[in-house]
Amino acid sequence: FETLPDGTIVYLAIDVRNVDPWGAVVGDALFELSPEGVVREVWNIWDHTDSLPLEHNSAWELGFYPQGKDYSHANAVRYDEGHDSYTISFRNLDTILEIDRETGDHIRQFGRYGDYSLTDGQYIGAPHAAYWTSDDTLLFFTSPRTEDESWAVELKVDDATQTAARTWSYGEGEGQKVLIMGEATRLSGGNTLVNFGSKGILTEVNPQGEVVWRVHMSIGNFPGHTKVLSGFYSDH
C-alpha cells in the first residue's frame, strides 16, 4: 500500500474467481481509501485478461495463496504525482503496468506482455517495486528468467517509438539471485540503494556502479520495503 499526498491510501488486494477448468484463481485489484473512509476500486485484472492473459504457469502450483492458483501476483504499487498514475509490478506475469489514477486505463506495459519494446532484449522477470524517478525514468528490480542473478534496472522511455532503453543497471556479475522481493531506490545525491531481498543484502552504489557501502543481514531474514529518512529526529 502507499499513502498519497492528499491522505488517500491506495492498496492492492486479491480477487478470487472460479475459472474453468482450473477452479479458484487468485487475481489482483487496486483500491483507494479516501480520508473520509470511501473505498473506490480503481482497477481489476479480471477486466483486462485480454492484455494480461490468464495462462497456466509453474507458480500456480507453489501454493502461495491457499485461496487458489496464483495468476498474476501483484507485489508492489507506486504512485507518481507528476503522471497521476499508478505503477504495478506483477511477478508471475513478468510485466510492469502503468495505469491512470482517475480512469484505471492502461497507459504503458513493459515486459512479457508489454506494448513497449526493450531495446536490448527481454530481461524483465519477476519484477518488483517499479516506479518513476524524478528524472522520469522507470527504476525497478528484476530477476530475469534466463539469468542466475538479479539486477536493479533503469529505463528511459520513448513514447513516440514505444521503446525503452536501459540507461543504468546494477547486479550483473554479482551472482545474487533473489527469489523474494528486491527493490531499487534512487537517493537524492544520485546514488541508488539496491535491496537484494531474500539474499539479505543492502548495497548503495554510485552511478558508475561502484559500491559505497554494503550490509549483509545476520538476523536470518531479509529486508522488505526500504524507505529513506531525512533524519531520525525532528524539532518538535
What pLDDT score does 220 carry? 57
> Pairing state of beta strands 128-132 and 117-118?
unpaired
Average pLDDT of every residue of the chain: 92
CA distance 226 to 198: 13
Indicate the pTM of the whole model: 0.92
Residue numbers of the chain with a pLDDT score lower than 50: none
**Residues in contact with 89: Cβ distance below 8 Å, sequence separation at least 6, in sequence order:** 74, 75, 76, 96, 127, 128, 129, 130, 140
Looking at the DSSP bridge assignments, the partners of residue 30 are 12, 43
What pLDDT score does 180 carry? 83
What pLDDT score does 29 carry? 98
Q: Over the stretch 97-122, which tens digit does the pLDDT of each residue have? A: 999 999 999 999 999 999 999 999 88
Alpha carbons within 13 angstroms on the beta-carbon side of residue 27 total: 19
Q: Over the stretch 55-69, which tens digit does the pLDDT of each residue have? A: 888 788 888 999 999
End-to-end CA distance of the chain: 28
Q: Considering just the CA atoms, what is the radius of gyration of the chain in Å? A: 18
